[in-house]
Structure 1
């Protein structure tokens, strides 16, 4: 159970860690605009736009993964398979983020499918 909760914590932290590259890109775009950050983010291109998309996708992925993990915990179906799938999810999501930043679209999509597959696999264990 501890490994599963660590994976959940890492997944929770990822969107906030993913904000770092977005903030760095915003700082290069005339300084970080803390009054209107979303308006400034809309002007990002290239690396900055990819960083923003990866940041936003981390929140989207967290919802699916978080619900899957909480479902197996609530149904008392935590197994070694669940823990392995959770680790696969977290590794795939970290890879996804890096691949997004460095503009490797095909590999990024593969890592996305691996992560969502792992989340769905976790949920399936609760059935």
Structure 2
């Protein structure tokens, strides 16, 4: 299935590539536009500011880092599957499931549901490996 010349799997790559930015924005939620002296987001030193966050903000930042870490394998798997002529419907479905699992993973991470988060992470990894073998 193609939209604007890209398969659904390639659109899933784009969606997955945007997830870390969603997590970063979530970590800064409610602090953007607030003065630094009042705990607002520090755009002059963003990494140090994020490192000082606690609770759900810290977990959103950790989800951001993990989302960046998950990208290379997913991008590579989708490209390899396309190059090897994987059945497009199966590839699209698996790529879509991967994106959904990564969204659930982020929600579980931010909500501090560690076991559910780890199980979702493992499922997403298995789906990613399945993409390689589709």
TM-score w.r.t. length of structure 1: 0.88
Q: Work out whether residues 26 and 40 of structure 1, in 8 Å CA contact, stay in contact via their aligned partners in 2.
A: no
Q: Which has the higher helix share?
A: 1
Distance 1:90 1:100 in 2: 15
Give the alignment of 1:36-47 within 5 angstroms. 36-47=45-56
Q: Work out whether residues 68 and 123 of structure 1, in 8 Å CA contact, stay in contact via their aligned partners in 2.
A: yes
Q: Point out the structure with max Rg over C-alpha.
A: 2
Deviates further, 2-11 or 97-106: 2-11
Distance 2:43 2:115 in 1: 34
Give the alignment of 1:23-102 within 5 angstroms. 23-24=28-29, 27=32, 30-102=39-111
Deviates further, 45-54 or 20-29: 20-29
Distance 2:112 2:16 in 1: 22
Q: Which runs of 5+ in 2 are unaligned?
A: 2-6
Deviates further, 70-79 or 113-122: 70-79
Instruction: Give 1:103's match in structure 2, choosing from 94, 108, 112.
Output: 112
Deviates further, 18-27 or 52-61: 18-27
Q: Which runs of 5+ in 1 are unaligned?
A: none
Provide Cα deviations, 1:80-127, integer angstroms capped at 9, x if missing partner.
Answer: 3222211111110000001111111111111101111111111123xx
TM-score w.r.t. length of structure 2: 0.84
Count the aligned residue pairs: 125
